[in-house]
């Protein structure tokens, strides 16, 4: 049996901090011409890419790059099964790849692995518009899927900045979060069933879960693959619930003087807006400065403040929702929780507000060399982390910027410098991750482990849990060929 976690060394990428570079597992075979011919037999020559595979072996940030060997484009579950059976028998390592929009290198080969792209498995789509149950191929792009549902009065229950490129199968494999979690919950609340192909010598096809909302006849096996980062099997079809598309969406941006008051505003929003509250996003003053300096984007608020909060409601009655939002803003002002507030009077106004939040990652990336973080914390420690890191980094950092999803405790802390600094990096790691775990948080809120966080993946997890995960990996992937050198 192949080793699940080969020894690794640390490399410094050109654009970000230390990443894992695992040594190649010598038990894996190298792709030969005979293997390419076998793949062409399964897929046809048009389904096998041998030359100029850079787009599939480099992530969109340019941070992770691997040589790879060949890229395969199956069109259905049966072809995926044939590929995985062949690769298992011949000890060829495989990297499943969706839209390749991740931030931790999970879908990028480290060495000469076969890249298995799901991009052409995007034909089957069915939707029950009475029960709100969607069944579709894993290769559908999230935005395309959402547009299909729009014509039926529904939408996907999560929204991501990468929606124009990411795929629903990859969303499931990474347990994507996004800006609507406070309203609709995580994907755990919506996943009903999956079709998954196992990387064994039979290319076993599993039809897990159900096409109905209630089914307690077995363990909820589809959820084993939710957030599994391509470690256990390849998802080819997804069954999940969609939600009614709101007829009324109200957006407001608020100026707040302290993070403690941001939390008070959140508590009031949950009680006053309750069933229509859909998003509660957060940008600090350093983020707003980056937006202005790097993208020439200006606040919609007339009053400068230490923090900006973006609140959104989604409902079915515009008069009702506007009245609730107006009363909420009045109460925020009367209780002196906010300095200022602007309620969007049109979709164009709302777009300007959301442009600020959605452009924050780009603004930060233009600030210089960026150390990006995606962690979750109890709200009492949420912004404390920013203050701790700002003090710890001192003049070595150009900016210490925080934006994120206050509604679910997910902070995107970004630390920038003019250029890569080993001194700054040594201040950051492992201190930052150890601090997060010591304060009851998680080192990965929604971006996963992949290659990037593998050295820290045991922080906050019991050894018994890690052992259990490795046992599950052995069961599903007995030859260890699927997405090696990553999460497990």
Percentage, residues of the chain above pLDDT 90: 93
- 46 backbone dihedrals φ, ψ, rounded to 5°: -70, -15
- 122 backbone dihedrals φ, ψ, rounded to 5°: -150, 40
115 has pLDDT over 60: yes
161: confidence class by pLDDT, cuts 50, 70, 90 = confident
Quote the CA–CA distance of 291 and 299 in Å, as a whole number.
9
Q: What pLDDT sits at residue 11?
A: 39
10 has pLDDT over 70: no
Report CA dihedral (274, 185, 149, 127) to the nearest 10 degrees.
Answer: -120
User: Residues 6 or more apart from 91 whose CB is under 8 A from it?
Assistant: 2, 27, 28, 29, 479, 481
208 has pLDDT over 60: yes
Q: What pLDDT sits at residue 6?
A: 35
Quote the CA–CA distance of 107 and 484 in Å, as a whole number.
10
17 has pLDDT over 50: no
Quote the CA–CA distance of 163 and 72 in Å, as a whole number.
23
| Continuous H helices in 317-440 | 318-334, 347-365, 379-382, 384-393, 422-428, 431-438
Rounded mean pLDDT, 146-169? 95
This prediction has a pTM of: 0.92
Quote the CA–CA distance of 194 and 137 in Å, as a whole number.
10
126 has pLDDT over 70: yes
Quote the CA–CA distance of 179 and 277 in Å, as a whole number.
11
Rounded mean pLDDT, 104-126? 97
- Over the chain, what is the mean pLDDT? 94
Report CA-CA distances (Å) from 333 to 25, 127, 329: 61, 44, 6
Condensed to tens digits (0 to 9), the pLDDT of residues 127-144 reads 999 999 999 999 999 999
51 has pLDDT over 50: yes
Q: What pLDDT sits at residue 20?
A: 52
User: Residues 6 or more apart from 75 whose CB is under 8 A from it?
Assistant: 43, 47, 120, 121, 123
13 has pLDDT over 70: no
112 has pLDDT over 70: yes
454 has pLDDT over 50: yes
Condensed to tens digits (0 to 9), the pLDDT of residues 219-255 reads 999 999 999 999 999 999 999 999 999 999 999 999 9
Q: What pLDDT sits at residue 46?
A: 97
- 448 backbone dihedrals φ, ψ, rounded to 5°: 90, -170
Rounded mean pLDDT, 33-47? 98
Task: Please tell me what DSSP assigns to residue 415.
Answer: E
Condensed to tens digits (0 to 9), the pLDDT of residues 304-356 reads 999 999 999 999 999 999 999 999 999 999 999 999 999 999 999 999 999 99
Q: Which domains does the chain have, with CATH numbers?
A: 8-119 (3.30.43.10), 125-244 (3.30.465.10), 248-438 (3.30.70.2190)
Condensed to tens digits (0 to 9), the pLDDT of residues 395-425 reads 999 999 999 999 999 999 999 999 999 999 9
3-state class (DSSP) for residue 136: strand
Quote the CA–CA distance of 71 and 42 in Å, as a whole number.
13
């Amino acid at each position: 049996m192949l080793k699940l976690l080969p020894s690794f060394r640390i490399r410094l990428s050109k654009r970000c901090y230390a990443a894992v570079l695992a040594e190649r597992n010598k038990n894996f075979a190298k792709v030969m011409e005979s293997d390419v011919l076998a793949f062409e037999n399964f897929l046809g020559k048009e389904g096998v890419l041998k030359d100029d595979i850079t787009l599939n072996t480099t992530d969109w940030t340019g941070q992770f790059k691997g040589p790879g060997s060949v890229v395969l484009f199956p069109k259905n579950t049966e072809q995926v099964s044939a590929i995985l059976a062949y690769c298992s028998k011949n000890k060829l390592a495989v990297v499943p790849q969706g839209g390749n929009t991740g931030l931790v290198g999970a879908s990028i080969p480290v060495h000469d692995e076969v890249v298995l792209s799901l991009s052409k498995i995007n034909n089957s789509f069915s939707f029950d518009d009475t029960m709100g149950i969607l069944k579709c191929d894993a290769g559908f792009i999230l935005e395309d899927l959402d547009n299909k549902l729009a014509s039926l009065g529904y939408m996907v229950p999560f929204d991501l900045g990468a929606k124009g490129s990411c795929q629903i199968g990859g969303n499931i494999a990474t347990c994507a979060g996004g800006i609507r979690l406070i309203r609709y919950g995580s994907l755990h609340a919506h996943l009903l069933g999956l079709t998954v192909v196992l990387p064994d010598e039979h290319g076993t096809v599993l039809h897990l879960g159900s096409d109905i909302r209630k089914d307690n006849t077995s363990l909820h096996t589809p959820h084993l693959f939710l957030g599994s980062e391509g470690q256990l099997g390849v998802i080819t079809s997804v069954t999940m619930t969609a939600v009614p598309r709101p007829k009324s969406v109200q957006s407001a941006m608020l100026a707040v003087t302290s993070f403690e008051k941001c939390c008070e505003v959140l508590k009031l929003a949950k009680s006053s807006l309750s069933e229509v509250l859909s998003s509660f996003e957060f940008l600090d003053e350093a983020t707003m400065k980056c937006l202005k300096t790097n993208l020439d984007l200006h606040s919609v608020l007339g009053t400068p403040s230490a923090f900006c909060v973006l609140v959104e409601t989604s409902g079915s009655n515009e008069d009702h929702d506007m009245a609730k939002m107006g009363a909420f803003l009045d109460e925020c002002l009367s209780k002196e929780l906010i300095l200022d507030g602007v309620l969007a009077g049109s979709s164009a106004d709302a777009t300007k507000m959301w442009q600020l939040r959605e452009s924050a990652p780009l603004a930060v990336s233009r600030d210089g060399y960026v150390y990006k973080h995606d962690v979750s914390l109890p709200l009492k420690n949420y912004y404390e982390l920013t203050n701790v890191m700002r003090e710890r980094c001192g003049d070595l950092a150009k900016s210490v910027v925080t934006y994120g999803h206050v509604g679910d405790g997910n902070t995107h802390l970004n630390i920038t410098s003019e250029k890569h600094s080993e001194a700054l990096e040594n201040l950051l790691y492992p201190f930052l991750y150890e601090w997060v775990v010591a304060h009851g948080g998680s080192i990965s809120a929604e971006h996963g482990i992949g290659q990037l966080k593998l050295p820290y993946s045991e922080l906050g997890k019991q050894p018994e849990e890690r052992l259990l995960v490795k046992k599950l990996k052995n069961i599903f992937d007995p030859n260890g060929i699927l997405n090696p050198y990553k999460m497990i």
